[in-house]
A and B are shown apart, each in its own frame.
Chain A
């Protein structure tokens, strides 16, 4: 009946929509890998750059973080890290919380928490870069 799907386990509608078994699995899988690929150099840069500073006093760190290149990379680090973190936590909750209501509640709560942390951290980076603080 179908070409390219010799086993024939997929429904005609699913095939027409180009979906996998559960709908969005491939997209989630790909997003998690993509963010991992971006996060590996960003995370390594962050740790190594901080450890290479002469000291971690306010003046040195603030000057470092307000340089445009570093500010952009910090923004990307926060955004991608929060996205990657939620993608991972999502899979863990789906694996270990069988109850549907609790699963939904946990996922909503964790998503809000991730967006909140991302927004706060990104505002901080922007404020540092634009010299808004006293």
Chain B
């Protein structure tokens, strides 16, 4: 009796995928990505505090094609977690939880994330590689 595995409730695979649940799990995933991003933020600040050579090395790495791709990923993760986070805070006040409202806010969030990320990437490209 004690060794018998406990019954498990039906899990994710029994549900038809819906974009609202994809948005929900991505909020978690981008949160984890941003937690890793804190390491990069700390590294960047330490390089800036250590003087021009250390900072130049860090920026050289970040301005490389791979570094740019990583930064673009963090930018997307940041704006995603930012927008869905605000959506969660609104939900915490008890508002917008009905099915229709949740679907509407999901669309708003996706549009806002794409717009903010595109604007940020454009600004990043304008900054270019520092001399």
A residues near B (Cβ < 8 Å) are 33, 36-37, 40, 43-44, 47, 51-53, 55-58, 60-62, 65, 74, 78, 81-82, 85, 88-89, 92, 114, 117, 120-121, 123-125, 127-128, 132-134
Judge whether A124 and B59 touch: CB under 8 Å. Answer: no
Judge whether B130 and A33 touch: CB under 8 Å. Answer: no
Question: Which residues of chain B from 28 to 84 have any CB-CB distance to chain A below 8 Å in the complex?
Answer: 28, 31-32, 34-35, 38-39, 41-42, 45-46, 48-52, 55-56, 59, 75, 78, 82
Q: In the complex, what residues of B have CB within 8 A of residue A82's CB?
A: 38
Judge whether B89 and A33 touch: CB under 8 Å. Answer: yes
Secondary structure at the B interface, as helix, strand, loop or mixed, is helix
Query: What are 25 sample pairs from A and B whose C-beta atoms fall under 8 A apart?
Result: A33-B89, A33-B92, A36-B88, A43-B78, A44-B82, A47-B75, A47-B120, A52-B123, A53-B127, A55-B127, A55-B131, A56-B130, A57-B59, A58-B48, A61-B55, A65-B45, A65-B48, A74-B45, A78-B41, A85-B31, A92-B32, A121-B46, A124-B46, A124-B49, A133-B50
* Residue with the highest number of chain A CB atoms closer than 10 Å, among B42, B89, B124: B42
Q: In the complex, what residues of B have CB within 8 A of residue A37's CB?
A: 89
Smallest CB-CB A-B distances: 9 pairs: A57-B130, A124-B45, A124-B49, A51-B123, A121-B42, A127-B49, A85-B35, A58-B52, A124-B46
Least Cβ–Cβ distance between A73 and chain B, in angstroms: 13
Secondary structure at the A interface, as helix, strand, loop or mixed, is helix
Q: In the complex, what residues of A have CB within 8 A of residue B31's CB?
A: 85, 88-89, 92
B128 at the interface (CB under 8 A from A): yes
